[in-house]
Amino acid sequence: MSQARKLLSRWGETFLPVVAVAAALVVGAVMLLALNVNPLEAYGAMLTGVVGSVSGFTQALVKATPLLLVGLGITIAFRGGVINIGGEGQLIVGALAATAVALALPGWPGVVLLPMTLAAGIVGGAAWGGVPGALKARLGVNEILSTIMMNQIAVQLANYLLRGPMIDPAEIAAGTQIAQSAQLPEQVWLVRLVPRTLLNAGAIIAVVAAALVYIFLWRTTIGYRIRAVGLNPDAARFAGIRVPLYQALSLILGGAFAGLAGAVEVLGVQHRMLEGLSGGYGFSGIVAALFGKLHPLGMIPSSILFGGLLVGADKMQRAVQVPSALIGTLLGLIVLFVVSSDIWVRYRARRRQTHE
Amino acid sequence: MSELFTLPVLLGILYSGVRLATPYLYAAIGEMFAQRSGVLNLGVEGIMLMGAYTAFFVAMSTHNLWLGLLAACLVGLLMGLLMAFVSVTLQAEQGISGIGLHLFGLGLSSLLFKKTLGSVESISGFQPVKIPVLGDLPLIGEVLFNHNLLVYGAFVLVPVAWWVLTRTTLGLKIRAVGVKPEAADSLGVSVTRIRYFTVGLGGVLAGVAGASLSIALINLFQENMTNGQGFIAVALVYFGGWTPFGVMGGALLFSFVNALQLWIQVKGINLSSDVAVMLPYILTIVALAVGRRSQQPAALAKPFERGEN
């Protein structure tokens, strides 16, 4: 194979996810036509809604923050060969734990309380990921199904806590009974980066986390073992790696990052815990992780892109009255296209083997 | 607690338990066929949602419940074939592609609901048909033999599925493909064709499962109305040890817990209703932990490639 063609095929593999997104947008355009909407107008509204103003772009970054953190957790799990669908539940429990700690110690100074609150989120998410992890390691329970069930349980747990023990006393006094916690003490709020927008220091935390995950997976022994288990569990076992332990660990770490995402969302954006906080980040985080080719640094542009898509969908809904549910459909298609395109990568790899 | 469990209350819980087993049965029996042939279809939930929406919309606009059911079958078939194409022909990772199919179905059913209906409306669905003689039996007559046709259909499906799987050539081929696809292939059984068939069938039955919710049990459509039932159905296949009667046992256990849970909510018992709502999901995890994994089809979730050795 000529040098040029080799280069071309490598580029092809790198940009397969981009092709997948483009293909999904084309299918989306057909659906828009079926709904009697001009696709150019709809996608135009999406694009200008995001890049056309400072507020649109910062909104995209605000949404990219939890996507990046959740996606990092999913990246670790997938690299370890376990499929973590539980980002949603882990994020919710992380947010609940962070809220509980911040509300329990309102008089404490921010320098102490803020790290404690973030740590609570990490621990909460790790625990929620740890249950499926332990069940997989000990009893061989399918982690896809157990993490999905843990999502449902987390939603109910949040409903219960936010209507009962954790409800804002002001809500009871006013008789409105909205399911949300009291506002967190101001010293734990994350700094806003751009005035009059929601963009906050959480975005910096997420980018630092991405760098740390990269170092962890590629520069530490534990990270190396996690990847070895994911690449080939049998070979890893022969090499003396305790496979179940590392599978459980990758679920726990995955949960930790999703939990951190929940804490950051509470501390940076909402300043309280409320129902529906997660907004599907657990699932869109999977899409972003796949698009980022399960690479922590690739996740950074990927999460910005998908944050933009989510914001763009809202703008499109307002501009051309297309329900933002369209974006959910497109996310599903992107997943299907990305995993389907794997066969092309494998085919190229085999051809290269036989040719060289 | 004593006034809680009077005889009429108990019969009521049993009656709705049998009713609520319907979507689980259709979806889980369909999924069982797919898994017995080696394909893990995690998109059941998304297919159910599309089936529920389609059945409701068609039934409402044509005033014909059977057309609604038929449309749900077709949509289920299409989505099943899409999953088969991705997982069998393109050999994609099945766990993730199933989640993709689920997101697609969830998004599309919400989108269509908002565009075509806009608000939650109810229709008059399939009505109970009392079976002569049996329906007049004391106690069990009311609990077992006074349901609508889709409920009966779900329970008839169980022995039929058992018969197909264990007593027919087709069933033998399905099982062979799920355990040792290379061997089946060398004997001239087309692994691809069998898997397309089972995943397509699973899609049709998941479509019916969704339809049973929207035009026979609840008689309305709302966004994400399945609320995890499709995923529970996948778990029931594990729990039932990949056999039709095992799956039925699991489905009944779940639907009774569900019926009990609904009753607790209605009664507003001190034990918080939010905790009661968690019960089915906690039970699913327990069920997965105690399931008989030794019977798992050997080639489950492994793509088959011909001539690879």
Distance from CA of B38 to the nearest CA of A (A): 15
Q: Least CB-CB distance to A332: which of B104, B228, B231?
A: B104
Q: Kindly report the pTM of this predicted structure.
A: 0.91
For residue range B166-205, list pLDDT tens digits in order: 999 999 999 999 999 999 999 999 999 999 999 999 999 9
| pLDDT tens-digit series, residues A218-262 | 999 999 999 999 999 999 999 999 999 999 999 999 999 999 999
Contacts of B115 in chain A (CB under 8 A): 35, 323
**Range list of H helices, chain A:** 3-34, 39-51, 54-79, 87-104, 110-139, 143-163, 169-174, 202-219, 221-231, 233-238, 243-264, 281-291, 299-320, 325-340, 342-355
Which residues 120-149 on chain A approach chain B with CB closer than 8 angstroms?
Answer: 131, 135, 139-142, 144-146, 148-149
Residue identified by tokens 């997976």 is A217
- Which ipTM value was assigned to this complex? 0.90
Helix or strand run (H / E) with residue A165: none
Q: Say how far apart CA B90 and CA A342 lie, in whole Å.
A: 8
Q: How far is CA A79 from the centre of its chain?
A: 15
User: Residue A300's pLDDT band (boundaries 50, 70, 90)?
Assistant: very high
All domains of chain B, ordered by start, with CATH?
7-295 (1.10.3470)
Nearest-neighbour CA in chain A from B91: distance (Å): 7
pLDDT of residue B4: 60
Task: Identify the residue with better confidence: B121 or A343.
Answer: B121
pLDDT of A8 reads 56
Band of pLDDT at residue A9, cut at 50, 70 and 90: low
Q: Which of B47, B94, B104 to mutate to test the interface with A (most CBs of A within 10 A)?
A: B104
CA–CA gap between residue A112 and residue A119 (Å, rounded): 11
* Min Cα–Cα distance to chain B from A326, Å: 6
Least confident piece of the model among A77-86, B9-18, B255-264 = B255-264
Mean pLDDT of A207-221: 97
pLDDT for B309 beyond 60:
no
The reply to whether residue B288 touches residue A142, judged by beta carbons under 8 angstroms, is yes
Which residue would you say has higher pLDDT here, B273 or B138? B138
A335 → closest Cβ in B103, B111, B272: B103
Could you tell me which residues come within 8 angstroms of residue B29 by beta carbon, excluding any fewer than 6 positions away? Answer: B157, B158, B161, B205, B244, B247
* CA-closest candidate to residue B157, choices B4, B30, B2: B30
What whole-number distance in Å separates Cα of residue A114 and Cα of residue B109?
Answer: 41
Q: Would you state the torsion angle of the CA atoms of residues A52, A56, A61, A63, taken in this order, to the nearest 10 degrees?
A: -140
3-state SS class at B225: coil
Q: CA A246 → CA A80, A230, A270, B126, B263, distances in Å?
A: 7, 9, 35, 51, 43
Q: Interface of chain B against chain A, CB under 8 Å? A: 42, 46, 82, 86, 90-93, 95-97, 99-108, 110-111, 114-115, 223, 227-228, 231-232, 234-235, 238, 272, 274-275, 277-278, 281-282, 284-285, 288-289, 293
Give tens-digit pLDDT for A320-355: 888 888 989 999 999 999 888 877 777 777 777 666
Helices (H) and strands (E) in chain B, counts: 12, 2
Average pLDDT, integer, range A166-193: 88
- pLDDT for res A1: 46
Cβ contacts of A246 within 8 Å, gap of 6 or more:
A80, A222, A225, A226, A229, A236
| Interchain proximity B42–A144, CB inside 8 Å | yes
Strand B146-147 and strand B129-130: pairing?
A: antiparallel
For CA atoms A228, A231, A232, A235, the dihedral sign is negative
Whether the CB-CB separation of B237 and B291 falls below 8 Å is answered with no
The mean per-residue pLDDT over the stretch A174-193 comes to 89
